[in-house]
């Protein structure tokens, strides 16, 4: 088992403007790199794809200086005109959909349909943001004082910092950047250290659009680099809002650094998501949903199903069917047609999977399927099903891989308590046909997550709704609904158009 990467795959790298050695800093419309040189690896065989020269701390400063100047221009362009630029970015992405999707699969390791789907998600976000650019509406508020008018006005923040993770190396940028740009903000992006080629390819597409519109390159600034660049973004007072996607542990550090300078944070952190299957559920629908939610992206989604809660009356029937479909999962090169499970992203991820299985079994976990790594040059592991007690400490943790815990329950109340018992609060699903169960589940005494689904899996969120979670997931919301308000500052404006000075609350001051 390995990768079939060859001349055919490397051709699309050239079509994306990538070579064997690339500069990883786009600052003031110029590509540069004065930091260390890193090698991007194909997780299907751990062979080198290309080299990237990362940004240095001075490169960061050069980029930010230009970004600050570009912000003065960009925020004065009318919002619908900014939307037109984002529309052109979407069109440019459409022209490179297949190539960029293949790059996501090659460098990150997710299967090709998911790689292409990730790029399509950015295109969809561009379309969404274009419409939004004509709907950044404020409010007119009745005043209690005669001859006074109150208005709510929304203005750009200036610059938005975006720090993304390896598992969605470009889609999460799209969630943030598309909306941030139409809201009048410049964007500073630090992609994941292990997916630098995707960062560069995405930036090249955006940069070309800015250049064709005679706009400053500093409107979109990107850096390939490690934690030091992320720390600079977090501490930079020129960046009012930092959007961070990653672990809860690192998210806490980012929040502390940003809060110390009174900046704003948008956090999308860990998930420990559960699917509840009630006794009246459509079993076949639920089995297919669990397979996609637990095995998709090799379990490396924040919305991956990690806990499966089965009603005792359907428990064994469901387990038998699920174990059977797990045996049919094709594991292999993510670029090959028919593959359902690609490799984990890094060798460290594979080692962490192995350690995790040891901890799980030491806490009473019984392996029903999988449980081992695969002897190959790539980072492949078996999709794993484990029967375990909900009281086992390891169930409260997020193991970033295709490991599914199966838990048994008797009542809906018990299932909801188990769902809510973990520190994380991102996504959750229930399978049932009963209206009373559905409305209990989505109500105040139901799931405590930011995403609460019925008869669909925990992953696969649409951009029209706000995406994000509660508790250790960070509380952030991205993409649809009114998430755009996080990328702007609100001003309440009171206008006195009369000749008197009446005071609020009827106060008479002399």
Catalytic machinery residues: 268
Contact in structure between 101 and 118 (CB atoms under 8 Å):
yes
Per DSSP, the chain holds a count of helices (H) and strands (E) of 14, 24
Sign of CA dihedral 252, 253, 257, 263: negative
Structure tokens at 35: 């930091």
Using DSSP bridges, classify how beta strands 186-190 and 403-409 pair: parallel, antiparallel or unpaired.
unpaired
Alpha carbon distance 441, 445 (integer Å):
7
3-state percent breakdown (helix, strand, coil) of the chain, nearest 5 = 40, 25, 35
Contact in structure between 167 and 499 (CB atoms under 8 Å):
no
Across 33-113, where does the E strand assignment appear? 37-42, 47-53
Contact in structure between 379 and 334 (CB atoms under 8 Å):
no
- Spatial CA neighbour of 380 closest among 405, 397, 402, 395: 402
Contact in structure between 85 and 209 (CB atoms under 8 Å):
yes
Q: What is the number of other CB atoms lying within 10 angstroms of the CB of residue 77? A: 16
Q: How far apart are the two ends of the chain, measured CA to CA in Å?
A: 86
User: Could you write out the three-class secondary structure of 407-458?
Assistant: EEECCHHHHHHHHCCCCEECEEEEECCCHHHHHHHHCCCCCCCCEEEECCCC
Instruction: List the 37-42 sheet strands across, edge first.
Output: 21-23, 47-53, 37-42
């Amino acid at each position: 088992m390995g990768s079939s990467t060859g001349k055919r795959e490397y051709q699309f790298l050239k079509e994306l403007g990538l070579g064997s050695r690339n500069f990883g800093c786009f600052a003031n419309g110029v590509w540069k790199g004065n930091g260390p040189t890193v090698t991007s690896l194909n997780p299907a065989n751990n062979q080198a794809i290309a080299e990237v020269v990362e940004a240095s701390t001075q490169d960061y400063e050069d980029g930010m200086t230009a970004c600050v100047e570009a912000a003065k221009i960009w925020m004065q362009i009318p919002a619908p005109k900014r939307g037109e630029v984002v529309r052109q970015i979407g069109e440019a992405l459409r022209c490179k959909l297949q190539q960029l999707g293949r790059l996501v699969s090659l460098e990150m390791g997710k299967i090709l349909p998911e790689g292409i789907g990730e790029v399509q998600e950015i295109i969809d976000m561009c379309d969404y943001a274009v419409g939004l650019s004509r709907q950044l509406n404020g409010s007119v508020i009745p005043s209690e004082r005669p001859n006074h008018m109150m208005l709510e006005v929304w203005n750009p923040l200036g610059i938005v910092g975006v720090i993304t993770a390896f598992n969605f190396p470009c889609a999460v940028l799209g969630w943030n950047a598309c909306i941030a740009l139409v809201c009048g903000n410049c964007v500073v992006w630090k992609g994941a250290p292990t997916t630098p080629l995707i960062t560069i390819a995405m930036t090249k597409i955006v940069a070309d659009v800015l250049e064709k519109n005679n706009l400053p390159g500093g409107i979109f600034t990107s850096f390939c680099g490690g934690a030091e660049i992320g720390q600079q973004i977090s501490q930079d007072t020129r960046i009012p809002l930092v959007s961070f996607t990653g672990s809860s542990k690192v998210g806490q550090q980012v929040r502390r650094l940003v809060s110390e300078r009174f900046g704003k944070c948008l956090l999308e952190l860990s998930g420990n998501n559960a699917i509840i299957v009630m006794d009246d559920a459509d079993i076949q629908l639920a089995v297919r949903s669990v397979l996609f939610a637990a095995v998709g992206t090799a379990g490396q989604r924040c919305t991956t199903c990690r806990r499966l809660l089965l009603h005792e009356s359907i428990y064994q029937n469901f387990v038998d069917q699920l174990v059977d479909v797990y045996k049919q999962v094709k594991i292999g090169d993510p670029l090959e047609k028919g593959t359902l499970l690609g490799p984990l992203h890094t060798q460290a991820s594979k080692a962490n999977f192995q350690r995790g299985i040891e901890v799980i079994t030491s806490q009473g976990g019984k392996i029903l399927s999988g449980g081992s790594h695969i002897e190959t040059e790539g980072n492949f592991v078996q999709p794993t099903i484990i029967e375990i007690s909900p009281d086992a400490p390891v169930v409260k943790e997020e193991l970033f891989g295709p490991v599914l815990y199966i838990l048994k329950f008797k009542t809906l109340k018990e299932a909801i308590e188990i769902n809510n018992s973990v520190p994380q609060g991102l996504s959750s699903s229930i399978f049932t046909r009963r209206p009373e169960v559905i409305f209990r589940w989505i109500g105040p005494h139901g799931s405590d997550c930011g995403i609460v689904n019925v008869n669909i899996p925990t992953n696969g969120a649409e951009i029209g709704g706000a995406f994000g979670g509660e508790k250790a997931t960070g509380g952030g919301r991205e993409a649809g609904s009114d998430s755009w308000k996080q990328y702007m500052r609100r001003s309440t404006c009171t206008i006195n158009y009369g000749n008197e000075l009446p005071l609020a609350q009827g106060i008479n001051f002399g």
